[in-house]
Amino acid sequence: MSQYQDDIQAIANLKVAQGSAWDAINPESTARMKAQNRFQTGLDIARYTAGIMRADMDAYDQDSSKYTQSLGCWHGFIGQQKMISIKKHFDNTDRRYLYLSGWMVAALRSDFGPLPDQSMHEKTSVSALIEELYTFLRQADARELGGLFRALDAAREANDATEQKVIQAKIDGFVTHVVPIIADIDAGFGNAEATYLLAKRMIEAGACCIQLENQVSDEKQCGHQDGKVTVPHEDFLGKIRAVRYAFLELGVDDGVIVARTDSLGAGLTKQIAVTSTPGDLGDQYNSFLDCDEVTTADLNNGDVVLNRDGTLVRPKRLPSNLFQFRSGTGEDRCVLDSITALQNGADLLWIETEKPHVSQIGGMVSRIREVIPNAKLVYNNSPSFNWTLNFRQQVFDAMSAAGDDVSAYVRADLMQESYDGSALAATADEKIRTFQADSAREAGIFHHLITLPTYHTAALSTDNLAKEYFGDQGMLGYVAGVQRKEIRQGIACVKHQNMAGSDLGDDHKEYFSGDAALKASGKDNTMNQFG
């Protein structure tokens, strides 16, 4: 028997035991409500999705074509519509997640108003968005199952046994909209205790995967901006352990930690690492500092000096009281960061690069895999990259290196629309199309995400509507540009009352009040115009 049938029987037995006071309780109605509320707490979700993510990681280790993907979503409705769309187009949610971007929380969800990606927003707004996303995904489950239940009732009324079997199979094999969320905790919003407390809130809200970066918490910058300041490894490892303890405390034993290093683009540190023996982790961190050899006679008031192999060296300290790393050490620091994180409890890596270049990413991953053979990346397919220009320039450079004629192109101007029909542009677009598969195969990228896509899509669609509706097209701007496309593309929220839960409410009214229920879905409901 299916879980649905088991629940009907169990509730029927309970009804008998309760006697006549429960005569109005319908076991099948109750079973339907249970099916529509499969995940009763955020921890239920975290445990379920952690299992999915671990299985996906194992599958990728066996076959790099089985990489995973996500899009950043800044509101529950956006996440819900994304997953409804995925189920509509692909029939399942396999290897497709959600990403919660700290950037978008700062820019769109802070009570302070729009903020840059500098951890200035309220820390609890992160866990609140996780909870909101899962509330909307659970509602998507309830809505779709409600439609199947109504269809089952209609098939029964028509005495169509074949259709009943088809619909019952869909109910029994229902694919949930609930998928893993990779949630951005920035640099932890304070010390390790603060990181632990916020991680707990995020896990309780449903997060099975937390991304943590190695910047100084109170100096945090967007990964694609300048002025990033990293911390010594022990500071970062303390926060990784804090997140792991939070997972274990809450019973999410296979929770996933993504360690993000910004070292490739970070030239500064706030601290000199503690070191006790040559070659230890602190000494390795300090070895990248930009230093001058000095004698005691060279020292100025307040100078900080290090003993490096018996030689006094003075790290270069800026007026900001930050210390500077040697130029050109970013990749080496990034590799060391990554190896150290994986050796100390992290599960996945995030390397923030300045451009989407498979060979660059793959070169670093190869070095990491010399030590950690199954090292895997989460990679930001960032909107901060000009993808068109980057890939056209990569193709231009490859053509030049091969001795091909590039006289028809100006490298600096390759973004121009006039190049769109060129052979170079076509080659670049094909490389963009296959970037995820190529880098999954050649650069160890397990998970591809776009951090801020729905920030941009919301702005673009609003611009298109405003231009038409407030211009010459008037109401046709909405009808032709939005509604007609919704209907023809089968966008579920064209029936916006249904999407908001009107039919679910009607079902419950019928359960609670029977024939006395005052329902909204009668013949005069305008949503009936949409089929």
**Position 51, amino acid:** G
CA-nearest of 339, 331, 333 to 373 is: 339
**Residue 516 amino acid letter:** A
Cα-based angle 394, 395, 400 (whole degrees, multiple of 5): 100
In angstroms, rounded to a whole number, what is the distance separating the alpha carbons of residues 97 and 49? 10
Which of 456, 382, 386 has its CA nearest to residue 416? 386
Catalytic residues: 222
Q: Please report how many Cα atoms fall inside a 13 Å half-sphere around the Cα of residue 499, on the Cβ side.
A: 14
Beta bridge partners of 351: 261
Taking the CA atoms of the chain, what radius of gyration do you get in angstroms? Answer: 28
d(CA 45, CA 141) in angstroms, rounded, equals 13
Half-sphere exposure of 364 toward its Cβ, with a 13 Å CA cutoff?
28
**Measured distance CA(97)–CA(93) in Å, rounded:** 8
Burial of 528 (0-12, 13-18, 19+ CB in 10 A): exposed
- The helix (run of H) or strand (run of E) holding residue 19 is none
Answer whether 431's CB lies under 8 Å from 52's CB: no
Q: Which amino acid is at 101?
A: S
Strand partners, 229: 268
Q: Nearest to residue 257, comparing CAs of 378, 131, 79?
A: 378
Report phi then psi at 380, rounded to 5: -85, 105
In whole angstroms, what separates CA 199 from the centre of its chain? 16
Bridge partners (DSSP) of residue 292 are: 314
Indicate the SS3 state at residue 519.
coil
- Residue found under tokens 């540190």: 269
Cα torsion 250, 253, 256, 262: sign:
positive
**Phi-psi sector, 409: left (phi>0), alpha (psi -120 to 50), beta:** beta
Give the CA distances from residue 402 to residues 173, 397, 518, in Å, rounded to whole numbers and listed in that order.
54, 9, 74
Which residues lie across from 315 on neighbouring strands?
291
